[in-house]
Structure formats: C-alpha cells, structure tokens
Amino acid sequence: MNLGIANGSRKEINGKPHIFYDGYWIRYYPPPEETLSAKRDLLLVLTRRTFHHTEPGINTPGNRVETARQAYESERSPERKRVNAAMLAGALFNRATDLFTSIVDLEQRGIHVDTDNELMTQCSECFQEALELGKQVRHSSGHEGIDELWGEPLKVFTQPIAAYYESRYVKIAQAMEAIDEVADHMVSTFKAIPGFDKTAGSILDYARAARQESEIMKSDPDFFYSWPEFVTLAARIKHFEPTINSDKTNLEEVHGWGKRLLSEGVDLISYMAGVRVPMPKSTREYLEKLEQCSSATKKLHSEH
C-alpha cells in the first residue's frame, strides 16, 4: 500500500503514464475532448462491452422496447420474469444509444438539440429504466448481477467524460483489490494442500496479469502483449496436476476438489479483470469454498 499518496496523483512507470487511486497505480489514459460525438463513441463502446459481459439473449434491438415490455409485464413466473426484465433492459439500453446517436447526427447537421428536448428526455428515461431493470441482469457466467457495469452508460450520458474516466479508475482500483484478495486466499489455501504448494507463484503471476488486464484499454498496442500472457497463465493453472506422494494418505478426493477450486479461482479473477468491477457475491461464495477445502484438508491430516 502506498501510504500518503493522494488519489489522482500521476507519474510514469516504465515509461507509461499512471494514475493513483486507493492503493494502486493504474494505467492512465487522457479523456477525449468533451463533445457529443465523443460521448456517442464512448456509449457505443460501452454498449458492446456491456452486452459482451452479460448473459446471452438480452441484446434486444431498441425498436422492440414495446414488445419486450409487454412480455415482461405479462409474465408470471418469477424465474422467467427475471429474464424478461433483462431483455427489456437490453432493449431500453439500445434505444437510449440509438436516440443519442440520432441526436449527435442532428447536431452534426447543424440542428441543435437542447438538453430539455423531448429526444434528450426520452434518452435519459430509457437509460434510467434500463439501469433499474439492469439489477436483474446476470454476468455471462450466470454468477451474479453486475449492475455497476450496467450503469456506466448512464454515467457517460449524465456526467462530463472526465468525471466518467475518474469513476472508472476508482472501479478498477476496487477490482484490483478484489483480485488480490482472491489470489491471496488461493495461495494460503493451496500451500497447505499436499501436491498444490507449487501453485503459489503461478497464482500471484496470474493476479498481476489480471490487474494489468483490468487497466489496459484494448485499443492500446500493449494489449497485444498483455493478453497472450493473461491467457497462457490461466491455462497453466487450469492444467496443473498435483503430485501424489505415496508416503502420504490417499488424497485423490482432495486433489480433485483442489483442481476444481483452482479452475474456479482463475475464472473468477478473469471475470473481474474483464468487467473491471468487484464481484462481491461470487467472491464471497468462492472464499467460502476455499475455507471448506482448507478445513477438510486439516481434518484429513488430523485423522492420520
């Protein structure tokens, strides 16, 4: 932890600009100039990113809001209604983006659209309702909702771009902290399981790569170097085979359990690096599994 450093402080690290937030130096990218077209471009990027990381089947076209709403309001099954809510949220999200794109097109043709114009009002209402319904949208893994990610386009619409960038750094710092928490618990759990003690280095390397993945924009040329490392480190951990010492008690069941937990930990870290926000519910559930495995291992040792 870098104590005494103010949030927003900047410096170069290895020739790359970084900005400090909540204990982490994060790659810094200057925000684009505050224009409607820049907001539109950012909204389009966030739209693609949001649907990439959320459950399939909810990228409903904006011209189908009414149909999606009718299906949502008429559904009685709670499980299916949740999915209908996600589909309606997707339609509202896309309609808001469509409206804002139209507004920018009008501005570029010399037709000024005031902030209290009906198009602007409707765009804002779509984003607001999409955000509320977005609480029922799940991550692509099915683990949990990630409404913080779902709310990013609304921030871009309602705030200056520079303010959105600042909020992005705060969320990245939180994601990095969550990644480190998961990795630290993995290391402490697996070092106590015979045959898994050699995983610590790979886990910490993967956490470092995941933090880097959470901070680097895909438009950055460095992405062509960071992504291959991130992928290969994940594969190395997932394919890890524990050594079985014949002098020890048969630990095959614990080894199978350990391999599954290693793989789940890699996936969870990968999810958080991708969405760039913490996933507290998934993290809590995974740490509970690690604790159960640790307790079972200690019990096994005490019995022999």
Q: What are the tens digits of pLDDT across the range 1-56?
A: 556 899 999 999 999 999 999 999 999 999 999 999 999 999 999 989 989 999 99
158 and 124 Cβ atoms separated by less than 8 Å: yes
Query: In the predicted model, is pLDDT for residue 128 greater than 70?
Result: yes
What 3-state DSSP class applies to 91? Answer: helix
Mean pLDDT of 253-268: 90
What pLDDT does residue 304 have? 52
What pLDDT does residue 20 have? 97
Spatial distance between the Cα atoms of 153 and 42, rounded to a whole number of angstroms: 8
- Name the average pLDDT for the chain: 91
Q: How far from 101 is each of 48, 61, 265, CA to CA, in Å?
A: 14, 14, 40
What pLDDT does residue 239 have? 93
Amino acid, single-letter form, for residue 39 = K
**104, β-bridge pairs:** none
pTM passes above 0.75: yes
User: pLDDT tens across 161-170, in order?
Assistant: 999 999 999 9
Quick one: pLDDT band at residue 297, thresholds 50, 70, 90? confident
What pLDDT does residue 302 have? 59
**Helices marked H in 75-158 — which ranges?**
78-108, 118-133, 147-150, 152-158
Q: What angle do CA 64, 93, 40 make, to 5 degrees?
A: 120
Nearest partner of 126 among 187, 35, 63, 208, judged by Cα: 63
Query: In the predicted model, is pLDDT for residue 150 greater than 70?
Result: yes
Query: In the predicted model, is pLDDT for residue 249 greater than 80?
Result: no
Query: In the predicted model, is pLDDT for residue 295 greater than 90?
Result: no
Radius of gyration of the chain (CA): 23
Mean pLDDT of 233-255: 77
Mean pLDDT of 88-94: 95
Domain boundaries, the chain: 36-158, 172-302
What 3-state DSSP class applies to 268? Answer: helix
User: pLDDT tens across 177-190, in order?
Assistant: 999 999 999 999 99
Which run of H or E residues covers position 10?
Answer: strand 10-13
- Strands 16-21 and 10-13, how do they pair? antiparallel
